[in-house]
Amino acid sequence: MNALALSSLDPLLPSPLEPVEDERFTRHGVRLLLKRDDLIHPDLPGNKWRKLAPNLAAAAGRPVLTFGGAYSNHLRATAAAGRLLGFPTTGVVRGDELAGRALNPSLARCAADGMRLLFADRATYRAKGEPEVLARLLRHAPPDTFVVPEGGSNAEAVRGCAELGRELRDGGVDVAAVACGTGGTLAGLAAGLGGGRRAVGVPVLKGGFLGGEIRALQEAAFGGPAGDWRLDERFHFGGYARTAPDLEAFAEDFEARHGLAIERIYVAKLLYGLVALAEEGAFPAGTTLAAVITGRPDPGQPSAASR
């Protein structure tokens, strides 16, 4: 896969940076911008493009195997890329209890795009980075398959996400915030922002493990720490795809205020957290704050409230 093949997908880059009038920020002297990475590509939106594109360039047209849960945006984006660019894909899905059941809409889309689905039990999935486990999984994939980690987060992806930080730096942003799953987007974003600006990550999983993951990703991508970043782990609402009535009410209110459909698993938690931080005075008056909209609601994916 070369840059010309990827550019044939016609991504919208740099993505738009849109001002939003919201009194919950303006009354604290904070200017809110939305970085619309959800508009980059209809099948590979947001950080999926930024993390997948460098991995696909490294794969150079070889088959790709990657990992995700039953509603993984990353699996869907990888399957769509395979269909659009003509390479085979294999998805290792967490949960062997899903094997033999009717596919949910998200996995059905992966299959329709040509992805071979392998269902792994939880222990195997946790050990997927161990050489013997990975070798066993690769026996079910075509020869010379290129492995992309869960969420696409590796050194190539982090370097790809640094461009997001550079776009925001050029847009005059003081603080950039992003929801975090595996930490790859934040690791690159902080590096691209450069000195004098900071990045805030809002994890959507509980556990407190992301800081070490981000430091390891920056070490692999840049040889050491890069940029000013921090995590606020208060807004996961119980973990991945977990929610509460006040989060759902917040998302519905934001949609009504601004006419923007809000993806629930990542983006709603990010925006909720930023409103709370603004109320706490975390952003000095005069701050230009950018919220990275990393994805959009998918009709095949249930809202977090239903899970």
How would you write the pLDDT of the chain (307 residues) with one tens digit per residue?
Answer: 655 677 788 999 999 999 999 999 999 999 999 999 999 999 988 788 999 999 999 999 999 999 999 888 899 999 999 999 999 999 999 998 888 889 999 999 999 999 999 999 999 999 999 999 999 999 999 999 999 999 899 999 999 999 999 999 999 999 999 999 989 999 999 999 988 999 999 999 988 889 999 999 999 999 999 999 999 999 999 988 788 999 999 999 999 999 999 999 899 999 999 999 999 999 999 999 999 999 888 655 544 333 3
Q: Which of 15, 72, 106, 153 is catalytic?
A: 72
Do the Cβ atoms of 275 and 24 come closer than 8 Å? yes
- Nearest-angstrom CA–CA distance, 126 and 124: 5
Look-up of token digits 């899905």: 93
Position 242 scores a pLDDT of 86
Q: In what order do the strands lie in the sheet with 17-20?
A: 17-20, 31-35, 288-292, 175-180, 198-203, 228-231
72 is catalytic: yes
pTM of the predicted model as reported, rounded to 2 decimal places = 0.90
Look-up of token digits 């992806």: 157
Position 122 scores a pLDDT of 92
Position 307 scores a pLDDT of 31
In order, the DSSP letters of the chain are --HHHHHTT----SPPEEEE--HHHHTTT-EEEEE-GGGS-SSS-THHHHHHHHHHHHHTT--EEEEE-TT-HHHHHHHHHHHHHT--EEEEEE-GGGTTSPPPHHHHHHHHTTPEEEEE-HHHHHTTTSHHHHHHHHTTS-TTPEE--GGG-SHHHHHHHHHHHHHHHHTT-SEEEEEESSSHHHHHHHHHH-TT-EEEEEESS-SS-HHHHHHHHHHHHHSS--SEEEE-TT-STTSTT---HHHHHHHHHHHHHH-----TTTHHHHHHHHHHHHHTT-S-TT-EEEEE------TTS--GGG-
- Domains located in the chain, CATH noted: 3-45+154-306 (3.40.50.1100), 63-144 (3.40.50.1100)
- Nearest-angstrom CA–CA distance, 90 and 83: 12
List the beta bridge partners of residue 116.
90
Output the six-digit token pair for 138. 């690769």
